[in-house]
Chain A
Amino acid sequence: MDAFVLGAGKTRFGPSSHPMTRLAHEAIMGALSDADMRIEEIGAFVVANFLGGPNESQLHLNSVIAGLFPGMHIPGWRVEAACASGGVAVHQAVTMLGAYDPILVVGVERLSGRPGNELTRNIGMAGDVILDQAQGLNFPATYALVAQRHMQRYGTTTRDFEIVSLKNHANAQLNPLAHFHHKKVAQADIDAGATVASPLRLFDCCPVSDGAAAVIISSKPRDERSVPIIGSGVGTDVISLAQREDHTSFAAAREAARVAYGQAGISAKDIDLVEVHDCFTIAEVVAMEDLGLAEPGAAVELIRAGETGIGGSMPVNPSGGLKAGGHAIGATGVGQVYEATKQLRGEAGKRQVEGARIAVTHNVGGVGGTCAVQVLGRLS
């Protein structure tokens, strides 16, 4: 596969007064500057967004984004795959490089400013309207059931979830673009967190963020800072837990990883860091197992041993992940590719994973109805 990230840009994730257009513009200008390119060189663009319709009454987002480069008239479209919109958009750009080159991918989302119960309902649109939504199965509740099943099956404990949360909050303090960059989270904060959907409590849940991220992808490297994408896969599955036999692992994620690892010619032991979709702490545990970083049920051994920290043997979410880095839904998967790019170039500052050569991103829609996995870097 010949695909390279030429440039990457990202806004801070977190509450913002800026509209989607301004957030997207900031990320796009960041990616252009990072690649040392001009917008006129772009051949096509893909917009990733989940809730522009229900939250902002704004659809037809490719045309809205075209307004950021008036007069260009290049092809562009929007991708919606719930929280996996960003990773799927990157995959789509990679697979379209024969037709357009280079391609700009921009993910953008606004989640602040809506009443909480309305936002919870809207995010719940990632679940089946009859099987899940009508039964009150909002997203915390969905992942709470996954957590209950994982705890029953493997003896995973809420203490394991707390370790994930503390680790990701510590990482976010090293990431100036993280939602909780300025918030120090201690055990006492976690202990004081209210139950959201048992067993998940406040600090098991990611925040909802505003933000944007952009990457420019081409079949040809531009300079030595261009980062190869050596594998990209997307898997899908039935949307509801009610339709599945296995509630502790996502088949879509395993399939996306199988395809991406196969293209890249890697196995899990070659990976130096992962950015995974930890919308809830349990999701990080499941992600590690689906990506083959641990056998089913064994991710907690790495977590308990501290191996998933930035200095550990298998760093997970050095950015702070969704949990503490923030979740600007449509931007999240693109932001993961931004983070992998920074890490592989050695530009990640205080959160740098030393000597990282292979990074994997893992972006999930719903409760594993969609998953996109990308492998970036060079084996040798």
Chain B
Amino acid sequence: MITRRCPSCERRYSYAIDECTFCRVPLEENETRAGDVVAVTEVSVPSLGHEEVPYWCALVARPQGGYAVVKRDVPTSVGEHVSFGGAEETAAYTLGVVGSGVMARGLVELFLTRGQKVIWVGRSLDRLAASRDKVADRLARVMDEEQLSAALSRLDLSDEIDAFSACDLVLEAVVEEVEPKLAILKQIEAVVRPGCIIATNTSSLPLDVLASALDDATRFGGMHFFNPPTRMRLVELVRAPMTSDATDHFIHELSVSLGKIPVRVANGPGFVVNRVLMPLLNEAVRALEDGAAPASDIDEAVRLGLNHPMGPLALADLIGLDVVVSIMEDLHTRLGDEAYAPRPMLGKLVAEGKLGRKTGSGFYDYTPPPAP
């Protein structure tokens, strides 16, 4: 945050003006990145643009004089020293991301938005460059040109895993299958510096199985982000059996500094969210099979009756029905509960290639209407 001060009369201005209104001399810029909290309020009432409550508004004394109001995601106390004022100022870590899917792209966007340095490794530099352009398009919606170029200057692309040698943490977000994840984890460990944390974004695979790829599993833990990671505030933090307290602590603090709300969950089937979600999706399909209501009415009822932002069938289409079936089968096997056995209609749609939004049809038809 920049304030301007008149060198002659010492008045301070909060606005982007050039000269002192009184003295007509050029103003000096003071940029403040941190200060001490002198008062704080915990805000429990949401407003447009600030829907997530509670949050904390701190009145912070600037070292050069004057104050700033600073919004905080975490409980804040009087006397605390806080930094603020935009992305660049929190660039604390170099984070590695491996993967080139939608989730990896969202994670890169999140990290850049939050001022981190990012090294993004994928198999093809051309594909990475195309993905970077998509990230840049997304960032351009919330940043001006100066901020955007600063953000992109913090991003390096590489098709060589060695690029991770400078990372503080590497997060793998490759395809959700055991063998590819084991292989990439082994490669990561071979190139990173000692003390670098290695994390997985797996949504379902057991952490103890993945940890077997590593010589030093104390540095390994799960960070399960939700799509899109820039908007969804939850991160499920999963400890592998060997995860050290230091690793757990680092991952937790990083999640908070990314503006997320981390929830620690056990290394069990589906963690918490998928374990709770899958029976809901499956039951919605069964309701459709039983003729309880048409798909759109089932979704409308759940949306309004349970205050969900999206109905279960539309959500299944968004996730991808093949992914839903694979998660359900995995949970069914591991938990032995019939509630997780995918309903016949799911199997039928998958067999027909109707996988949801990504193929243009699932429970709903997503093909664009013909041009008029």
Contact = CB atoms under 8 A, between A and B. Distances in A.
A and B associate:
yes
Interface of A: 116-118, 120-121, 124, 128, 130-138, 140-141, 144-145, 148-149, 152, 194-200, 238, 240-245, 247
Contacts of B51: 117
A117 B46 contact: yes
A131 B40 contact: no
Nearest to B62: A242
Given A117-B51, A135-B71, A243-B14, A141 B59 contact: no
Given A135-B71, A242-B14, A243-B12, A197 B39 contact: no
Interface string B128-155: 0000000000000000000000000000
A240 B14 contact: yes
B94 interface: no
B353 interface: no
The 3 closest A-B pairs by CB, nearest first: A144-B41, A120-B47, A121-B48
A197 B48 contact: no
B41 A141 contact: yes
B69 A121 contact: no
A198 B42 CA distance: 5
A117 B48 contact: yes
Contacts of B49: 121, 133, 136
Contacts of B12: 243
A138 B50 CA distance: 9
Contact of A243 (B55, B57, B66, B71): B66
A161 B75 CA distance: 24
B10 to A, nearest CB: 12
Contact of A149 (B39, B55, B68): B39
Interface string B1-38: 00000000000101000000000000000000000001
B44 interface: yes
A140 B78 CA distance: 19
B45 interface: yes
Contacts of B46: 116-117, 120
Nearest to A133: B49
A135 B69 contact: yes
Contacts of A118: 47-48
Contact of A138 (B47, B59, B66, B67): B47
Given A242-B14, A242-B59, A145 B39 contact: yes
B39 A195 contact: no
B59 A135 contact: no
Nearest to A198: B42
B213 interface: no
B214 interface: no
A175 to B, nearest CB: 27
A136 to B, nearest CB: 4
B47 A136 contact: yes
Nearest to A147: B41
B85 to A, nearest CB: 11
B70 interface: yes
A137 B69 contact: yes
A145 B50 contact: no
A141 B41 CA distance: 6
B43 interface: yes
B67 to A, nearest CB: 5
Of B41, B57, B59, B71, most buried by chain A (CB within 10 Å of CB) is B41
23 contacts: A117-B46, A118-B47, A121-B48, A124-B47, A131-B14, A131-B69, A136-B43, A136-B49, A136-B57, A137-B69, A137-B71, A138-B50, A140-B43, A145-B40, A149-B38, A152-B78, A197-B41, A197-B44, A197-B45, A198-B41, A242-B66, A242-B68, A243-B66
